[in-house]
Structure 1
Amino acid sequence: MEINGQLALTVLMGVFLVAVAAWLTRVENWRSYTPLASGGGAYGQESGHAHEKPGGLIRWLTTVDHKDIGMLYGLYGVIAFVVGGLMVVVMRLELADPGMTLISNSFYNSLLTSHGITMLFLFGTPILAAFSNYFIPLVIGADDMAFPRINAIAFWLLPPAALLIWAGFLIPTSDIIPAQTAWTMYTPLSAGVGQGNQANAGVDLMLLGLHLSGVSATMGSINFIATIFTERAEEVTWANLDIFSWTVLTQSGLILFAFPLLGSAMVMLLLDRNLGTPFYTGEGGNILWQHLFWFFGHPEVYILVLPPMGIVSYVLPRFSGRRLFGFKFVVYSTLAIGVLSFGVWAHHMFATGIDPRLRASFMAVSLAIAIPSAVKTFNWITTMWNGRIRLTTPMLFCIGFVSNFIIGGVTGVFLASIPIDLILHDTYYVVGHFHYVVMGAIAFAGFAGLYYWYPLYTGRMYQRKLGKWHFWLWMIGTNVTFFAMILLGYGGMPRRYATYLPEFITLHQVATVGALLLLVGGFIWTYNFVISWLEGPVIKDGDPWNLKEDGLYTAEWDWFDRKLQTKITDGGEEQEVATDGGQETDDTDA
């Protein structure tokens, strides 16, 4: 009965996806939407009509404007970040004591799995899509994304993906429980083999949700590539394309090659679970899954880190009073990372017993990929050297990014060495290294972008003092938490364990204190952004950061200045572009 139920659920989801695909094939003229008030052209120059967006909820449900979709991605990413963060706070509180005190072993494993998947697939990729959607058309002088409706569809695949991934928590039945496979979903555990509880439908729903998020990311990457190649303004050439667009272009190329492979691997896993195929349950299947997963998994790290590197390369020079040092080398190193990232996946598998000659080649490439990352780091430091540094909140987060990225990168170089990796594999050292990059670097760069562009997308200024409190709590909390994990790894503490030996209690409690500092900083950030959005000082100048003084004024702020001037001229809000469902009104009727 249980197998029949899972099979019916899988078939139902397959029918749903086929129905969506069939509907999409009936949609004509994908590029028919032409916004008038976006990045490239002057407002209203293409038509004698004024367009108004529908009001309220309908606007957000029907919009195909890249700025609105960027805001939707941002809201979605923030919600996922809060959910994933609260999950790990519960885990860290549990780990303050060696035994099981607050939650059960199985619930801990469920939180562990959902935390990793939420942060990587529901927060990491969407929050970067938020920046890319909002700002890429503005900085390259495009009217909108190349395929606005595909852009909207890519976003609206994500809410059902989140519901499927969290279904085990949201549906209180014995047949559907949260997945406990960890975010890597290693077989045979994830294939439902053995006496465990991972044959339940919660794992199937999680896999289907991941599949939807992968389809969304792939559609978005195609859109970004097409936009950057075909929608640039005449004055924007490959020679003067901004660094953020270069990193997003490289990231999109990685997504095109990596995510479809993960989707194929998960389809085979679903077939193993529901139809009894032997892809991963037969001889060698466990190693096959690791090869397929990590061929996606390591490029995924660079899919997540390249746009943040672009944000830092874009924002840091603005508060250093000088242009980015070695711009061409930063671009070349970005492309080098994109190419090399597909040649390092087996360094996650040094302990599996693969051929030593293969291990040596992967070790060499894993060490080599540190070079382009180091090039970027030296360029960021040199940009600040003798610059006119202004320690604004965005600049502090950029400096924090560089500092944490150095620690995360150096600890990663050690793991690229086979003999060291064999000792530290599957210990908390790996967790500390990974989180220094994901939390200490990627999240810090994201907040640098959120604070830097806050006046642009809200029209108001945040509270500067609270912004700096947020930074320092997070800088201290990040290093306290994850450096303690590195020390735990040196002591031999294995990762993913809900209980541990008493000798590890002190460092675990230190890590928990650091996590609570991050929680307090998160509360301050949320309060600051919400209150400032509602009551903050209104921005009346299109150059709130005084970038013109150093000749570092950029296209998105020029668009923002035109928007402010339009408000002044009209005596009110700038007219918004139409979306699906909007009504068109002739100028003569106004």
Structure 2
Amino acid sequence: MTALRRHRALTKIWASESGWRRWFSTVNHSDLGLMFMCVSVFHFLVAGVLAMLIRAQLASPRSAFMGADVYNQVFTMHGTLMMFLFAIPMFEGLTIYLLPKLLGSRDLAFPRLTAYGFWCYVFGGSMLIFALIAGIAPDSGWFMYPPLSSTLGSPGINPDFWLIGITFVEISAISAAVEIVVTVLRYRAPGMTLAKMPIYAWYALITAMMILTGFPPLILGSILLELERAFGLPFFQVAEGGDSLLWQHLFWLFGHPEVYIIFLPAAGVISTILPVMARTTLLGYGWIVAAAASLGVLSFGLWVHHMFTTGIPHLSLAFFSAASTLVAVPTAVQIFAWIGTLTKGRPELHMPLRWILAFFATFVIGGLTGVMVAVVPFDWQAHDTHFIVAHLHYVLVGGFVFPMLAALYYWLPHITGRKQFFRLGETAFWLVTLGFHVTFLAMHWVGLLGQRRRTETYDPGQGWEAINLISSIGGFVMAIGFALVIVDVVVNAAVAIRGRRNPWRAGTMEWAMPTPAPAYNFASLMPVDSREPLHADSSLPLRMARGEGYLGEARNGLRETLAVAISTGRPEYLVILPGNTMLPISMAFVTGFFFLGLLIKVYWLVPLAAVGVIALALRWVWGLGSRQDQGPQEVGRGLSLPPVSEVADPPGWWGMLFLLLADATLFGSLLFGYAFLWTVAPNWPPPAWMQPDPALLAIAAAAVLGPLGLRLAQGALARGRGLGAGLGLAALGLIAALLAAGLVLLHLPAPQTHAYDATVWVLMGYSLVHCGVGLLMTGQMAARRVAGFLSPARRGELRIVQLWVDYATLTALLSLAAAVLPGVLS
């Protein structure tokens, strides 16, 4: 088969649908990555307009431009859009577009999950944009501290848009994180070991793991606060055994790792682009990976950094202050490695390098002011002033937006196939960087003079007038610069002349394909034994196009790619990916109705939407797998591999493993909240706590039949026998766990009575949901066995269900133990 015929055959298999249906049915990672980035840029523009409204308001004292109510909505939505609807989705979009290309694979691990996450992001963001347009946007700050955000401080619907909309959006983040982790671990070019991965893949892996462990505390906090607002469960009400500081702990358990979740992808961009611009290799690859991993771990020990003024014990102040300064060390390792890379190379001052130099000048200042606010006495003085606002923007704009602009100019030729022709970018660069520093250096100054943040006006005569005017002028100059960046990108993408395939002479795999990228990425999957394959073998693109690698022939109309061993990169099995479908958008639409019912308090819609989600989920997984054993398949180069349906650890098993990691983090956060309230809240536990009942404990002990039954079913399947006994035993165990949770709820007072009762209600609700889902999964395994999807060779699905049932049983028993613990101790 000639290269042209191979290209046409693969395009026919992998291409998205034509016309308007393409954007609603595509599961192609290139399409979805670009869609993510475009929507995130839209949110960035909206947030930028809101920022200009803020600067217009603060340009003069006693301004009548906006009233307090409107101002509160504007600054809340500005922070919300930037943090939740721009920064993380931009990372997701860039990574979804780039990762398979960098790794030498054809697509991500779960293409339909990527599409589902995108549409959840769109629908959740639409809720917040609608609220902004309708004048009912959240107005309690992007941090939503109660009691300001509870019904005591905000009785209207405004905070509900934040709590429900952001929770909906974070489904997208969790989906993308699972996708990224499994893709990095299992979907790489043959022979690409972990040590030979592109540096950006390491950053993406660490960031995705941080999302899986950092976002669940905020999701839990949002659920608890919404339950308090909607149903009166008093998690944050002191009079009923709650504490408003619980929200701050849950929020900043997410919020401080969030800063590094934003920074690390930008650092990955810099580590990728900088050596190319310097015409050299990256200095200290191993040290940079270790520093990034250290940041990922250390960032979870800093959340109280944001709570120094809440009256916490001095020992905690000392510990978290030391931890906050320690985190500067791995950051400095990366910065010095980048400086060393520039020093040993021959830098060429293209647009990507300009933005990276702007990053250096900006982020270092933000890091130094971060060390300043890590010192407790200084933080007590600067807290809640504009100094903190300036520090935040130096870290987030300097540490994320500027590197993303470098990425935009670096990979734009890859996306469009055109080279930069018009030169608006240089003018835009100077307007943005100078405008930014004028705006936020002035803001540091006025913060040190005492101006408070989150206030809509100030009185004259305090020495702030001229500084605020200068800051506002700088802000509008910066806004003009960003507008020119967009004009420059659009013009160069639309009318610039065609460019060569690899204009930067880079060595990574994404430049080994035609540009714009074909739907299938690579005509064949070539073995890789270098971090820069194009520099090691300049003939690689031609050899791939000729089909000299694995899967070099289009066959059976199937989207084929390879899964490899985690550490060695050795090909392990053949994967068949799903084609275009409307199922992800349908699933996201029905999921949206679930959240919409909660938002508008039409609660009968919630169970209907839940039933719809269950039905679509069953439909989603029913078409997976095969009804017959196929045996090893020829994949090229004399190698035969088993199909994905006949391996013990299919991608779904890994996806479930990391999804349960996020789930376990949420459950652990719930137990943390339980322990926190028990420790600090008054009247805990209440006089009528849950007493241990021998009958209840006996029923709960029967829950262990669930994991036991699944193991018996696996053994029976391996021997070619029926699954009825094992699955029946598993179902009995799950029913026992459900019954135990139900009996606890019957013994409890109303959850509005006390925070202990409310917490136990949530724990039991958590158990009911997970055991109920486990029961559905067990029933589905029985149906799939009857339909012929399971056999002694095809038992990976049963291992996936086993993971869920093991987890559901363990958390049910831990929940019951937490419910009866006060009674046991008494």
Aligned to 2:231: 275
Provide the alpha-carbon RMSD of the alignment. 2.4
Aligned to 1:18: none
Note closer, same or farther for the CA distance 1:413–1:52 as it changes in structure 2 (3 Å cut). Answer: closer
Contact 1:401 1:445 in 2 (8 A): yes
Contact 1:132 1:248 in 2 (8 A): yes
Aligned to 2:412: 454
Q: Is 1:556 aligned with 2:514?
A: no
Q: Alpha-carbon deviations, 1:447-488, whole Å to 9, x = none?
A: 000110001001112345211111111111111111111111
Shift of 1:327: 1.1
- Cα distance in 2 for partners of 1:335, 1:329 equals 10
Structure 1 unmatched runs, 5+: 1-36, 570-574, 583-590
Q: Which amino acid aligns with 2:86?
A: F
- Cα distance in 2 for partners of 1:464, 1:368 equals 45
With the length of structure 2 as denominator, give the TM-score of the two structures.
Answer: 0.61
Q: Alpha-carbon deviations, 1:4-47, whole Å to 9, x = none?
A: xxxxxxxxxxxxxxxxxxxxxxxxxxxxxxxxx9xxxx8578x7
Secondary structure class of the residue paired with 2:158: helix
Contact 2:253 2:300 in 1 (8 A): yes
Note closer, same or farther for the CA distance 1:562–1:354 as it changes in structure 2 (3 Å cut). Answer: closer
Q: Is 1:334 aligned with 2:292?
A: yes
Secondary structure class of the residue paired with 1:247: helix
Contact 2:415 2:515 in 1 (8 A): no
Shift of 1:339: 0.4
- Cα distance in 1 for partners of 2:317, 2:254 equals 18
Q: Which amino acid aligns with 1:525?
A: V
Q: Is 1:189 aligned with 2:145?
A: no
With the length of structure 1 as denominator, give the TM-score of the two structures.
Answer: 0.85
Matches within 5 A, 1:78-89: 78-89=41-52
Aligned residues: 524
Query: Which of 363, 369, 388 in structure 1 is aligned with 2:327?
Result: 369
Q: Alpha-carbon deviations, 1:364-392, whole Å to 9, x = none?
A: 11110010001111111111114211111
Contact 2:137 2:161 in 1 (8 A): no
Q: Alpha-carbon deviations, 1:256-313, whole Å to 9, x = none?
A: 1111111111010001111111101225522111111101100011111100000011
Q: Is 1:316 aligned with 2:274?
A: yes
- Cα distance in 1 for partners of 2:265, 2:71 equals 32
Structure 2 unmatched runs, 5+: 524-541, 546-556, 560-577, 583-826
Aligned to 1:405: 363
Q: Is 1:205 aligned with 2:168?
A: no
Aligned to 2:631: none
- Cα distance in 2 for partners of 1:562, 1:351 equals 52
Aligned to 1:238: 194
Aligned to 1:301: 259
- Cα distance in 1 for partners of 2:302, 2:489 equals 39
Aligned to 1:527: 487
Secondary structure class of the residue paired with 1:166: helix
- Cα distance in 2 for partners of 1:332, 1:479 equals 32
Note closer, same or farther for the CA distance 1:444–1:203 as it changes in structure 2 (3 Å cut). Answer: same
Instruction: Decide which structure has the larger Cα Rg and report it.
Output: 2
Query: Which of 285, 304, 313 in structure 1 is aligned with 2:243?
Result: 285
> Sequence identity, in percent?
35
- Cα distance in 1 for partners of 2:27, 2:99 equals 15
Contact 2:427 2:481 in 1 (8 A): yes
Where has structure 1 moved over 6 Å in runs of 4 or more? Answer: 575-578
Q: Alpha-carbon deviations, 1:117-138, whole Å to 9, x = none?
A: 0001000011111110011100
Q: Is 1:357 aligned with 2:311?
A: no
- Cα distance in 2 for partners of 1:473, 1:463 equals 20
Secondary structure class of the residue paired with 1:382: helix
Q: Which amino acid aligns with 1:457?
A: I
Aligned to 1:156: 119
Query: Which of 498, 517, 525 in structure 1 is aligned with 2:477?
Result: 517
Q: Which amino acid aligns with 1:210?
A: I
Shift of 1:576: 14
- Cα distance in 2 for partners of 1:83, 1:48 equals 37
- Cα distance in 2 for partners of 1:493, 1:562 equals 50
Secondary structure class of the residue paired with 1:157: helix
- Cα distance in 2 for partners of 1:209, 1:243 equals 34
Note closer, same or farther for the CA distance 1:483–1:563 as it changes in structure 2 (3 Å cut). Answer: closer
Secondary structure class of the residue paired with 1:354: coil
Contact 1:262 1:296 in 2 (8 A): yes
Shift of 1:57: 2.0
Shift of 1:560: 3.1
Q: Alpha-carbon deviations, 1:36-77, whole Å to 9, x = none?
A: x9xxxx8578x7975543222211111101100000001111
Q: Which amino acid aligns with 1:232?
A: R
Secondary structure class of the residue paired with 2:513: helix
- Cα distance in 2 for partners of 1:311, 1:134 equals 13
Q: Which amino acid aligns with 1:59?
A: R
Aligned to 1:224: 180
Shift of 1:150: 0.4
- Cα distance in 1 for partners of 2:342, 2:272 equals 13
- Cα distance in 1 for partners of 2:112, 2:427 equals 40
Shift of 1:563: 5.6
Shift of 1:91: 0.9
Query: Which of 121, 130, 133 in structure 2 is aligned with 1:167?
Result: 130
Aligned to 1:468: 426
Aligned to 2:214: 258
Shift of 1:100: 2.5
Shift of 1:579: 4.5
Aligned to 1:73: 36
- Cα distance in 2 for partners of 1:267, 1:203 equals 12
Matches within 5 A, 1:93-132: 93-132=56-95
Note closer, same or farther for the CA distance 1:113–1:563 as it changes in structure 2 (3 Å cut). Answer: closer
Shift of 1:235: 2.4
Q: Is 1:414 aligned with 2:347?
A: no
Contact 2:114 2:175 in 1 (8 A): yes
Q: Which protein, 1 or 2, shows the higher relative CO under an 8 Å CA cutoff with sep ≥ 6?
A: 1
Contact 1:295 1:342 in 2 (8 A): yes
- Cα distance in 2 for partners of 1:193, 1:562 equals 54
Q: Which amino acid aligns with 1:65?
A: N
Q: Which amino acid aligns with 1:556?
A: E
Q: Which amino acid aligns with 1:161?
A: G
Q: Alpha-carbon deviations, 1:521-558, whole Å to 9, x = none?
A: 1121111111222211112x21212x2xxxx4221011
Q: Which amino acid aligns with 2:83?
A: L
Shift of 1:110: 0.5
Matches within 5 A, 1:25-40: none
